Structure formats: structure tokens, C-alpha cells
Amino acid sequence: MITEQARKMQVIVREYEAEKDLAGAEAVELSCEVGQSGAVSIFTDLLGDPTCRVRHSPAFLMLVAETVGPKKEIVGLIRGCVKTITCGKRAPRPAAAAAAAVAIYTKAACIVGLRVSPRYRRMGVGLQLVQQMEDWFRSHGAEYAYMATDKDNEASLSLFTGRCGYTKFRTPSLLVQPVFAGHRLPLRRTAIVIHLSPADAETLYRRRLSTVEFFPRDIDSILRNPLSLGTFLALPSGYSWANLDSFLAKPPDSWAVLSIWDTKSLFRLEVRGVSLLRRVLAWTTRVLDRSVPWLRIPSFPNIFRPFGGYFLYGLGGEGPSSASLMRVLCSHAHNMARAGGCGIVATEVTACEPFMPGIPYWQRLSIDKDFWCIKRLAEDYSDGAVGDWTRSAPASSIFVDPREV
């Protein structure tokens, strides 16, 4: 399918074909930074599978932009997926005040990883990729499309909010903690950690988090995916755990939960553009950490060569001690990442999450405002209870699907 603009620019947008497009897609990916702060750039290596960031979703597509002529070249790519997620909740009727709120679902599409080669930027390639991806979204019944970008990515924000009709919707924070290779983090004795089975984890999430914005209806597929390394529940040490049913019937005053996703098996990151002095200082902290681990020196991981990480998703909890219990779970995840050879542990949450103070992170590695932009695709809605979701007020929580990280 070639648009008039594509003919003029001699670029065609088509579906990705692994056998012939792999090398070209990798070249585009490696030519683009995925994050930038000052003179520091972050590059990603998708380990030989450009579709890895969407292929675990129910319906996904990858498009490439290719030059027309005797010497064809891949100059851009875009990934997208369609799924059913929560866009709001319906409060119980006054006569059933004790009943729980009911989730309102919508079919939504997510754009993941738009890339255009530096030589072909500002030539309409990105716009063509987005427009054809949106056509595919509509053909699969999506009512909304959304995407996430760094607040400092002016080109991306200009394209989506200026030319494609998206609006800024949510601004969660991407929190990153380095993995200290020299020592394990101690777990507080005031808490116990329960490893839930996928079935129990699904029950807990559907009972307690299903009304959170962006909660995926196919949560069971995520929890049973080989990349999901487990769901962990933190409880006060004085609580007597029997099983999930007894917990749900009478939970303690405070509790916290999270799940861990293995992004290390999908892609690696690398930080470039750092001065030699900072590299030496980071190396010194690692040497000291390994030499005298009992001092628990906060060593800076070697992120100047390819490294992987774990992503924490499905964070939730209740009660006055939920933040301290969340810290225990984050320490547990850190120790798992250390054993798995990771360089970082990351998660994404809203700034108003009550357990936010319990999530350890380094400001230099984190993004305090990650813009999520949204666009209404459908004119008619199957369920008008939520109205136009793009106009809704921010909720206190969001569910970040690890398949889109």
C-alpha cells in the first residue's frame, strides 16, 4: 500500500517479514536512542527479534518503511498490539453498598517502539507508519490508541500530539534501581513473603486490581507466560498465612503484591556518551562493593556495556504499612535480579500511589514524568458508561502491562 506522499518520498509501508527484514530492522533499531538525558544516550538491542516487545500480546503487528528502488533499505518501523483493558469502573448501586465496583473494559491499541533512521526524519516517514498502524487498529475493533514517550522526546510528542491527534493523558514515573552485584539486600523480619501460584495470582489481581486503569482482561496469559518469574505477596510477620481464600476473606491491615517480568531475555540496553571520569567512579564503587560487601556500598552497575533487567508489574497493596511491605518485595526482586545477572530493576507507577515511598530507585537512572498520550479511534462505543475515556480525570493507579515495556 503506497500513499501519494510515500511515492513522492519513495517509501513504502508494509508488514514486517522476518526472513528478509531482520537485518534492516536491527540496523534501524541500533541507530536510534530509546532514551536521552543531557549527553547520555540509551541504546537497545532486541536480541534478534524486533517483534519481541509485542508478540506476547493477543493481537500484534509490526510495520516497516522501505525505500523504493533497486537498492531497498528499511528506514523506519513501528509495532502495535490490540487488547481489552480497563478504562474505568462502575460504582455499586446504593442498595448494594457492600458490593465491589465493577470494571468497565474497552478494546484499546498500544503503539510500541516507533523508530525512524536519523537520515529519514522530518520526511513524513513516522506519520505514514502511525497512520497505517491506526488503520490496522480500527480493523481489529480498537476504540482507543495510546503510546508512551519520554517528556524530553520533543520530536515524538510533536508527531503524536501535533499531527496525529493524540492528547497527553497520564504521566507515570519510570523508576529504576541498580542491582548491587556485591551483596544481597536484607529483607525485614517484620514481613513474610509468599510466592503465589499463577492461579492464585490471577484470582488476587481480578479481585483486588481489576478496576485499575489499563488492567488487561487477559491477565492470566501474562502470569502464565514463561517470562513472568513469579508473583509475590508481602504480609506482616504476625499474620498466619493459610491460603489465598482465607487471605481474601480476612486480609491483614496492610499487604503488598507485585509480579516480576524478565526483560533480560528480550532485549539489552547500553548507556553511551558518559565521560571517562564517571565511568571510573562507577567502576570504583563496584570494586569496593565486591571487596567489602558488609559495608553495603551502593555500587553503580556497569551499564556502559549491554545489560538486562527485570520489570516489576502488577504493583498493589492496602493499609498504612503497604509502603514498607512494598520495599520488602522490591528488595526480594532485587536479589532475584542479582541472581539472574541483571543490571537494573525497573517499574512504572503514578506519583500518587500510596506505596510509592516504598519503591527504591536512583534519580539519575529514572524518568520522573513519562508521557502517555491517547487518541479516540471509534465513533461508536459498545459501552458508554465511561463516556469518552480521553477526557477522564487521572486515576490514583495504573496497571503497566510488561508486554509493552
Average pLDDT of the residues in 105-130: 94
The residues that bridge with 313 in the sheet, in sequence order, are 259
Query: What pLDDT, on a 0 to 100 scale, did the predictor assign at position 378?
Result: 77
- Please, what are the domains in the chain? 4-171+371-404 (3.40.630.30), 175-365 (3.40.630)
pLDDT at 327 over 90: yes
Query: What pLDDT, on a 0 to 100 scale, did the predictor assign at position 229?
Result: 98
Query: What pLDDT, on a 0 to 100 scale, did the predictor assign at position 147?
Result: 96
pLDDT at 92 over 90: no
Q: Between 393 and 299, name the one with better pLDDT.
A: 393
Q: What is the pLDDT of residues 135-156, one digit of tens each?
A: 999 999 999 999 999 888 888 9
Q: What is the rounded CA–CA span in Å between residue 286 and residue 289?
A: 5
pLDDT at 7 over 50: no
pLDDT at 97 over 90: no
Asked whether 289 and 181 are in contact (CB, 8 A), the reply is: yes
Percent of the chain with pLDDT over 90: 63
pLDDT at 48 over 90: no
Q: Under 8 Å CB-to-CB from 147, ≥6 apart: which residues?
A: 110, 111, 112, 114, 160, 166, 372, 373
pLDDT at 40 over 60: no
First to last CA, the chain: 29
Q: What is the pLDDT of residues 187-231, one digit of tens each?
A: 988 999 999 999 999 999 999 999 999 999 999 999 999 999 999
Q: Match 517479514 to its residue by C-alpha cell.
A: 17
Q: What share of the chain is helix, strand, coil (3-state, %, to 5)?
A: 30, 30, 40
One DSSP character per residue, 295-315 reads G---PPP-TTS-B-EEEEEEE
Confidence tier at 47 by pLDDT (50, 70, 90) = confident
H-type alpha helices, 217-305: 219-223, 244-249, 276-291
Asked whether 309 and 344 are in contact (CB, 8 A), the reply is: yes
Confidence tier at 94 by pLDDT (50, 70, 90) = low
Query: What pLDDT, on a 0 to 100 scale, did the predictor assign at position 95?
Result: 55
Query: What pLDDT, on a 0 to 100 scale, did the predictor assign at position 109?
Result: 97
Q: What is the pLDDT of residues 282-297, one digit of tens each?
A: 667 766 677 666 666 6
Strand 370-376 with 167-170, pairing = antiparallel
Backbone phi, then psi, for 137, in 5-degree steps?
-55, -50
Q: What is the rounded CA–CA span in Å between residue 44 and residue 353?
A: 29
Q: What is the DSSP letter of 39?
A: T
- In order of 5, 87, 122, 375, 376, the CA distances from 390 in angstroms are 30, 10, 28, 7, 7
* C-alpha torsion sign, points 382, 386, 390, 391: positive
pLDDT at 319 over 50: yes
Q: What is the rounded CA–CA span in Å between residue 372 and residue 378?
A: 19
Q: Report the chain's mean pLDDT, rounded to a whole number.
A: 87
Query: What pLDDT, on a 0 to 100 scale, did the predictor assign at position 2?
Result: 44
Q: What is the pLDDT of residues 234-285, one digit of tens each?
A: 999 999 999 999 999 999 999 999 999 999 999 888 776 666 666 666 667 7
